[in-house]
Homo-oligomer: A and B are copies of this chain.
Amino acid sequence: MNNAWHKEMLAEVRAGGRISDQDIVEKVRRAVLMQRLPPDTKLPEVTLGEVFGVSRSVVRKALTRLASEHVVDQRPNQVARVRAPSIEETRETFEARRLVEGEVAAQLAGRLDAEVMATLETQARLEAEAHERGDEPARIEHSLTIHHLLAEHSPNRVLGAMLTDLVLRTSIVIALYKRPSLASCYLENDHPRLLDRLGKGDGEAARACVHDHLHSLEALLDLRPRENSIDLMSILGRTAEES
C-alpha cells in the first residue's frame, strides 16, 4: 500500500472515535483524489482493516462501495486496487462530464441564491491564491469544491449525483495523465468566467463555458496512446509496493 499514508491514517484514527464503512470510503476516496494513493496501489482487506482499526467485514463493504464509485477495481479472488482508467475511458469520461455538467450549469444559471454565489466566488479566489503560492493540494481542493457545489445545488438531484461521480472520476484521471511538464492543471480565468455567466443567468453561455473549460482541461492531459508501455508497466513495473 503506501506507508506514509498508513501512518497518517493510524494517527487520525486513534485520535477520532469509531470508524464506519462510510468513513473508510471517504478517506480512501480523498487519498486517491489527493494522489496519496496512486493508481494500481494494492488495498488488501486485512491491511486496511488494521489501518482503520476495524475488521475485514467493514473494509469489505467500503471496498464494494468504492468499486461502484469507480475508485477501486475489485476482481474476484484478487486484491482490490486503485483503479487506473484507460486513455479511452478518460476521453469518454470527459465527454460524459461535458454533457452532464453543461446541462447542470445551464439549469443553474440565474437560480443560485446570493449565499451560494458568494461561497463559489470565495472558492474561486482561494483557488487562485493557492495557485499563486504553488500550493497544489489546496488548489485542487478549492477547484473540487466549486464543481461539487454546482452538483449539490443542481435542481435535478439525479443529474447532480451523476455529476458528483463524474467530477470524481475526471479528477482521478487528471492526476493520472497530467503532462509531467505541468506543475498544475490550473486554467486562469475559467472558473471566474463561469461564475459570472451563472450569475448573469445566461444558461447557454454557462453551458458553453463549461464545455470550453472541460475541453481545455482535457487538452492539458497527455492522452496519446502508449505503444505498449501500459501493458509493460502493469505487468512488470508494480513489484515495488511493499508494506
Residues of A whose CB lies within 8 Å of any CB of B are 22, 60-61, 64-65, 68-69, 88-89, 92-93, 95-96, 99-100, 103, 156-159, 162, 169, 242-243
Contacts and interface: CB of A to CB of B under 8 A. Distances in A.
A112 B202 CA distance: 37
A88 B96 CA distance: 24
A50 B162 CA distance: 35
A96 B243 contact: no
Contacts of A162: 96, 162
Copy total for this chain:
2
B95 A159 contact: yes
A93 B161 CA distance: 11
Nearest to A96: B158
Given A103-B99, A162-B162, A156 B64 contact: no
A64 B61 CA distance: 8
B156 A96 contact: yes
23 contacts: A22-B243, A60-B61, A64-B64, A64-B65, A68-B68, A68-B69, A88-B157, A89-B157, A92-B156, A92-B157, A92-B158, A92-B159, A95-B156, A95-B158, A95-B159, A96-B156, A96-B162, A99-B99, A99-B100, A99-B103, A99-B159, A100-B100, A158-B169
